[in-house]
A and B are shown apart, each in its own frame.
Chain A
Amino acid sequence: MCGIIGCTGRETETLDVLLHGLDTLEYRGYDSAGVALANGTVEVCKREGEIDRLRAAVDPAMDGPVGIGHTRWSTHGPPTDENAHPHTDCTGDVAVVHNGIIENYDELKAELTAAGHELESDTDTEVVPHFIEDALADGMSRDEAFRSAVARIEGSYALAAVFAGSEAILATREGSPLVVGVGDDAAYLASDVPAFLEYTDRVVYLDDGEFARLESGSWTVTDAEGRLLEKSISQVEWDAEETAKSGYDHYMLKEIHEQPRALRKCLRGRVDELTGTVDVEALEGLTAESVQFVACGTSYHAALYGAQRLQAAGVPAQAFLASEYATAPAPVTEGTLVVGVTQSGETADTLAALRRAQARGVETLAMTNVVGSTAARDCDRTLLIRAGPEIGVAATKTFSSQVVACNLLSATLADRGDSREIVQALRDLPGQIQEVLDASRAEAVAERFVDSDGYFFIGRGHQHPVALEGALKMKEITYKHAEGFPAGELKHGPLALVTGRTPVFAIVTGTDEEATKTVGNVKEVEARDAPVVAVTDGASTVDRYADAVLELPETEPCVAPVLANVQLQLVAYHVANKLGRSIDKPRNLAKSVTVE
């Protein structure tokens, strides 16, 4: 949640740089936004709503050599102008933006109010500028004052502050992402690299507990005690423009269409079909007696799939919701590998679960899309899924890439002698996704069922995670009620919800026992007059009981979920589009959730 941007050294362009940065950070939150520019004084402009409202409200003459900006996803207090960041102190000479949660803010707020400070918002953030104000009044330097305020707070945060009469930005992080961009005569600060990628591709990744000071073209990083740290500059390979929509109306549709390319990249140089070998550098020498996946949302569904793959290969494996695991972890042994699946590598719940695992001394692996992300840096190993930047809040291509990466992991940990068939199926997958994209009738299905009361998704075995994912996609972007179930569970309760106005999407591939039993469950649904949409490769008899069919190419059972999921992504997209929803920025959601 929440995105931070800052820049210094851009003279009169400060405001433009901040607003542009906020545009690219909008995926992190978009219920309010604001900027603060400092020269002799600090000027603040902030608005409830999307960034366009801020853009309309801001005085283009707002000027200053240094500034910070923020786009918010509310945790403390509703989205209002007052609760938008930046927040200032009583004098208006200090402005602060914050991403994260200050856990002890209640007591801090009480202390400040008792001391006569006037706090205007409901946010946890506002305590910070007031503590800085007090410290400055006590005669501390700006750097000392910033540190002393940070020392008072507990929780997770990325913080940045500007001051009247100073061209510097002071910043720090603890549990929330923050990167420094190094320009020729300017320096930048952001929650995520794309925010300043147009100006520089040289970045310094801050670690927890580090403080950064940016002033014009110079930057320094110090530790909590103020000792200077030597930080290396990394060159990022992403292309600034890769974050445009390439002719599509929505990022989500663009990213659905990018799946063949994403999977080609995920597999590149990692598989050899002739010998049936999987060779991933990051996994070299990796062994595990058992595997625990921790993840949230869509990544959790990929993790469920990954656990199934490993189980099938004879490696005990389980998938856990990271938010649960963080407080109630499962028992581990010395040979346990804990795999955190997180697109951004910044998901706070997943990071907390990984830290919990690390504290218990087991090996950790980050399965992520973002080089240099917190998860990638904190874990012992990193398996990059190489999906390329994903901007749409609803995860699409990263799910497919995660599923492929799970196969790479399971083939590495356990060779069951079928790896040649698996590699062959993986190599065929990009072309088969293209086939689904070329021929999908998802839009017609969406048109037919757009007015339904709710949607149910059933699948068994490998298709169970896809049933869950199909439902999640549907609810995220259409705001309609949708639930996914293991096909056999439907009759143990949820069937009571099924009516003639609740289509059931049944994912059935192959002709094995799982397929046969699922067809039986489909008949139960049909007998209750619910419309059935079969997502199938045509191998079973499910289409006989279906009102509509979404076709899949035939493939190995283990990769069929990826193909089924593409159809369900398209259905959700088209239903949301027909309902006029804000597809790339659904209400109440944010792309990477960096609070627990």
Chain B
Amino acid sequence: MTVRAAVVLAAGEGTRLRPLTRNRPKPMLPAADRPILEHVFDALIGAGIERLHVVVGYKRDRVQDYFGPTYRNVPVNYVAQNKQLGSGHALLEAREAVASEDGFLVVNGDQVIEQRMVEDVLDAFEDDDGGAMLAVTEQSDVSHYGAVRTEGDRVIELVEKPETDEYRLLNAGVYAFDASIFDAVDETPRVRGELALTDTLSRLIDEDVAVGGVTTEGLWVDATYPWDLLDVSRELLLGGRVTEPERGEAVWVADTANVHEDATLQGPVVVGPDSEVRPGAVVGPFAAVGRNATVGANAVVSRSVLDTDTRVGPNATLLDCVTGQAVSLGAGTTVPGGPGDVRVEDSVYEGQRLGTLVADRVRAAGDVSFAPGTLVGPNATLHTGVSISENVTEGAEVFR
């Protein structure tokens, strides 16, 4: 059996990454020079996938607009999941789209994976001639994810977010199935209305249906919380997983970017298409400047991710900073960097390496400073000279 189709699950918001997900789902958040989902597509296409079926839901237009009807000459078919009722439910929505396939991949669209993982799953699945197969990878801390125990090439246990630390393997979210998976998902009881694919797999294991586990190595990074986005970009830059041309050692600059000769790029760093880096600016190390962004004269941007259309004024200093799209940070903005205590919903996460996270279209006038760990909601307006010492809500206007 040859597998040439993949179902990519990209419908979920990723609520723990709010407020960055106000206008787009987690798969469209930046991972170095492009959205997370693009890394997933690249891994799939690199492994020989010729048909992409993407399950979209939350802010689906953002996925559709970015990739359009084809990506790298591979047709992209969009399947709507109107209510986000879990990964199993999402997969069921794609049932018709893959009806003519003997076997197909199912991949999470919100975690960066590597081509090798996809290839390993494909090889194992094709050797086994069907059934269910998942990629397993070793990580030091699996407590946020689906932990896996294997025996030979079989998975014998799947535990979501294990509370003990005895697990070392995690479910990488790369699966291969044949059409029998749909009935199995359909028969799985819903938990609080939701249908998780991993519940179905656990049931199959309990019923002694073979679920293959192929242990694979390679880059696997996920962002659960806002500060994780900095680590994701860091890993990708370290691994050279960047598509822009390499201008110098670990310095990637798009052909259409305009970097002034008096600006300094310190690798690893990537500068995206149509962007401008002005005289005297120092960008990097571990900085990703997105599409059509501007870094003003004499600004310093380090260990940061600046998303599409962001404007950084002259003399700004940004360390450990994540910006959303079309953020405008005026002259002399100061983000001294982490670590700081980050409040996400009702929990406080202490000592996280996050300077600040500034969501889409925040406008900060000159001389605004940000205390470590602050989150600024979309469309907030921060007036000249204010000090941001706690989270700012969407659309708020801060005068002092």
Contact = CB atoms under 8 A, between A and B. Distances in A.
Given A239-B73, A431-B292, A434-B326, A257 B256 contact: no
Contacts of B64: 246-248, 254, 257
B291 interface: yes
A437 B64 CA distance: 13
Contacts of B73: 239, 241
A428 B326 CA distance: 8
B274 A257 contact: no
Interface in A259-284: 260-261, 264, 267-269, 272-274
A438 B23 contact: yes
Nearest to B56: A247
A441 interface: no
A245 B68 CA distance: 8
Contacts of A435: 326, 361
Given A241-B70, A244-B75, A274-B276, A430 B65 contact: no
A247 B78 contact: yes
A257 B69 contact: no
Given A247-B78, A247-B80, A431 B69 contact: no
B166 to A, nearest CB: 43
A245 B292 contact: no
B349 interface: no
B69 A241 contact: yes
Contact of A257 (B65, B75, B78): B65
B78 A432 contact: no
Contact of B278 (A254, A274, A431, A438): A274
A243 interface: yes
Interface in B317-360: 325-326, 360
B364 to A, nearest CB: 16
B127 to A, nearest CB: 32
B294 A273 contact: yes
B326 A246 contact: no
B309 interface: yes
B308 interface: yes
Contacts of B309: 428, 430-431, 434
Contact of B326 (A241, A245, A261, A432): A432
A451 interface: no
Interface in B212-238: none
B89 interface: no
A274 B76 contact: no
Given A269-B256, A273-B276, A431-B292, A244 B61 contact: no
A435 B78 CA distance: 23
Interface in A224-248: 239, 241-248
A241 B61 CA distance: 18
A258 interface: yes
A117 interface: no
Nearest to A254: B64
B260 interface: yes
Interface residues of A, number: 30
B115 interface: no
B260 A274 contact: yes
Interface in B124-169: none
B76 A246 contact: yes
A434 B22 CA distance: 13
Nearest to A247: B78
A255 to B, nearest CB: 10
A245 B325 contact: no
B258 A274 contact: yes
Contact of B69 (A244, A267, A273, A430): A244
Contact of A246 (B68, B276, B360): B68
Nearest to A273: B276
Given A242-B70, A273-B294, A431 B308 contact: yes
A246 B52 CA distance: 12
Contact of B60 (A247, A254, A431): A247
A430 B278 contact: no
A50 B75 CA distance: 26
Nearest to B361: A435
Contact of A260 (B23, B65, B69, B361): B65
Contact of A437 (B61, B258, B292, B308): B61
A431 B326 contact: yes
Contacts of B268: none
B56 A264 contact: no
Contacts of B294: 273, 427
Contacts of A427: 274, 292, 294
A197 B260 CA distance: 41
A272 B76 CA distance: 34
B276 A264 contact: no
Contacts of B291: 264
A592 B304 CA distance: 47
B258 A434 contact: no
A267 B256 CA distance: 10
B258 to A, nearest CB: 6
15 contacts: A239-B70, A246-B64, A246-B78, A248-B64, A257-B65, A258-B68, A261-B65, A268-B273, A268-B274, A272-B276, A274-B278, A428-B309, A428-B326, A430-B309, A435-B361
The 3 closest A-B pairs by CB, nearest first: A247-B78, A431-B309, A244-B69
Given A258-B68, A427-B292, A435-B361, 5 more contacts: A241-B69, A246-B76, A248-B61, A264-B274, A272-B276
